[in-house]
Structure 1
Amino acid sequence: MRKIVLSILLTLVSCLTALSQTYDEWCERAVAATEQDSLELAEKCIRQALKLEPANPRNALLFSNLGTIQRSQRRYEQALESYRLALNMAPMSVPILMNHATLSLELGHNDKARADYSQVIELEPYNVEALLMRAYIYMQQRDYKFARLDYDTLLKVDPQNYSARLGLATLCQREVRYDEALVVLDGMLADKGGTKPYTTGELATVCVARAGVELDMLKPDQALLDLDEAIRLDPRQSEAYLMRGRVHLMLKKKTLAKRDLEKAVSLGVPQSEVRELMNQCK
């Protein structure tokens, strides 16, 4: 009987404590819980704040944070709804638009993501992330003209931007403008980022990209030199081993090809991706 009474008292104390919390206190508790990776508690605190003051303008941020929590838990539809509610309250919020765009892109809703990024660019014409991601979507949709416009805009603002330069080189390669692609990639390797030096991993990726262009130009020997350099710069560059394995196969060097393909798998390349290539090494 005493246990039952004690349980009831504890429940009442808990309820009274919750009722005594202010909107700001719930928000602070949500932030603290998020920082401690206690996402369930963070969500509970956010919902308590929303319930306490449903008309508070700051709820746009709460809904956005709630969406991010749900997204991290792979509750994607709920996250989309939370971001939608946030945008209903703050339709011109760049951070919320970016959150919604990122999730839409993850779910394969490319047109919706592009619309969000476009709205961000209307608000902030030189938003680097929005321009990069919209260019990426245009590339996926084979809308190369508009992808090039976004890359050009980025490079006017930041001529050394690594992602924009690499994206532009990839675009040129897809358009079969190989010489232009090489000019971009040669420039990246020559200045190595200038005042914003690229990492060795980034330079290795550029070498792999140049090797890909050289293969398209039917120059396997030059491609091999770039792949060797990529591996020297970054010995864990799995894509370099995979591509070098393909080149060795083209050159009928099956033993070397097998060695590279096995190394690529050890670095994380799925077996399914190399199975047919390994069969050709026999």
Structure 2
Amino acid sequence: MKNILSKDKMKVTAFSFFLKGVILLLLFLFPFTLHAQTYQQLSERAIEYIEKDSLHQAKDLLVQALKLDPKNEKNAMLFSNLGLVQRRLGEFDKALESYTFALNFAPLSVPILLDRAAIYLEMGKTDRAYTDYCQVLDEDKKNKEALLMRAYIYVLRRDYPAARLDYNRLMELDPLSYSGRLGLATLEQKEGKFKEALDILNKMIVEAPNDATLYIARADVEHEMGHDDLALVDLDEAIRLDASSADAYLLRGSIYLVQKKKSLAKSNFEKAISFGVPRSDLHEQLQQCR
């Protein structure tokens, strides 16, 4: 009888040690399981908040997730999303930092390079934007956004032959590209090829007769050609289509100022200011309206 009890006691003791071992193992593993789930949950909740435009909440969640696991390979996406949120909040320096951290995890990520380049452009750092667009095109020679924006930078630099190469390549890839054709028309205008610029814009207006931007672009070409009456007709149409277009009022004010119609010029400049043009940018023009 004692032997039986002793054996049972040994079994209970062995089971007790086994149970303790299982509990310790679970305690060891549980934090890592919870850690992984929390990282994933925070990431997913952040995306939900971004979609709801609750940007501050999204930012907090992304920062929490990144602190949980700073070396996780998925942090490229988290830093990219954080950059997006910060950009939309107007925190451009922080957004640049986030995109750069993202690129540390994924150096050749085309979407992240494009996002960082766009912020560089918004901040006026065109040389850095140019570098990113070139890197994108090294990875993807047919990337339309990179071709378009690099061409735009070339125009800013007055490197018109290089701009034309990129625009032509873009037109080969997408002959109906709105931004590409509008950019090419601007390039023709910059090079003094007004007829070619008008040909492009006329075709685009036939295709999209309710696009105020196209009428403003054509008016600008007509103004440079000295056809101010035609330009004013186009600007009237642009304002009819979009009464809040600061560019239309700005150009119309400039034409009226050339025509010595100071009162009309001033009223158009004031309209442009009311729609977002800084008054300081028009200080000289307003002085001339006196």
**TM-score for both structures, normalised by structure 1:** 0.78
Tell me how far apart the structure 2 counterparts of residues 44 and 270 of structure 1 sit (CA, whole Å): 33
Q: Does 1:237 align with 2:253?
A: no
Q: Return 5+ residue gaps in structure 1 as ranges.
A: 1-15, 193-197
Name the counterpart of 2:260. 252
Q: Does 1:222 align with 2:230?
A: yes
Q: Does 1:20 align with 2:34?
A: yes
Which one-letter code corresponds to 2:172 in the other structure? K
Name the counterpart of 1:116. 132
Give the SS at the match of 1:24.
Answer: helix
Pair 253,71 (structure 1): closer, same or farther in 2 beyond 3 Å:
closer
Tell me how far apart the structure 2 counterparts of residues 242 and 48 of structure 1 sit (CA, whole Å): 46
Tell me how far apart the structure 2 counterparts of residues 28 and 217 of structure 1 sit (CA, whole Å): 56
Moved more, 179-188 or 28-37: 28-37
Name the counterpart of 1:265. 273
User: What per-residue deviation string (whole Å, max 9, x for no partner) do you get for residues 59-100 of structure 1?
Assistant: 211222233334444544443333222212212211111122
Q: Return 5+ residue gaps in structure 2 as ranges.
A: 1-29
Tell me how far apart the structure 2 counterparts of residues 250 and 35 of structure 1 sit (CA, whole Å): 48
Which one-letter code corresponds to 1:257 in the other structure? A
User: What per-residue deviation string (whole Å, max 9, x for no partner) do you get for residues 22-57 of structure 1?
Assistant: 232232233334445555554454344444444432
Tell me how far apart the structure 1 counterparts of residues 164 and 66 of structure 2 sit (CA, whole Å): 43
Pair 134,258 (structure 1): closer, same or farther in 2 beyond 3 Å:
same
Tell me how far apart the structure 2 counterparts of residues 126 and 34 of structure 1 sit (CA, whole Å): 30
Name the counterpart of 1:186. 202
Tell me how far apart the structure 1 counterparts of residues 192 and 268 of structure 2 sit (CA, whole Å): 28
**TM-score for both structures, normalised by structure 2:** 0.76
Name the counterpart of 1:87. 103
Out of 171, 181, 185, the residue aligned to residue 187 of structure 2 is 171
Q: Choose 1 or 2 for highest CA Rg.
A: 2
Q: Does 1:208 align with 2:224?
A: no
Name the counterpart of 1:151. 167
Out of 32, 54, 64, the residue aligned to residue 80 of structure 2 is 64
Root mean square deviation, CA, Å? 2.9
Tell me how far apart the structure 2 counterparts of residues 44 and 269 of structure 1 sit (CA, whole Å): 34
Moved more, 99-108 or 63-72: 63-72
Tell me how far apart the structure 2 counterparts of residues 39 and 236 of structure 1 sit (CA, whole Å): 28
Tell me how far apart the structure 1 counterparts of residues 56 and 285 of structure 2 sit (CA, whole Å): 46
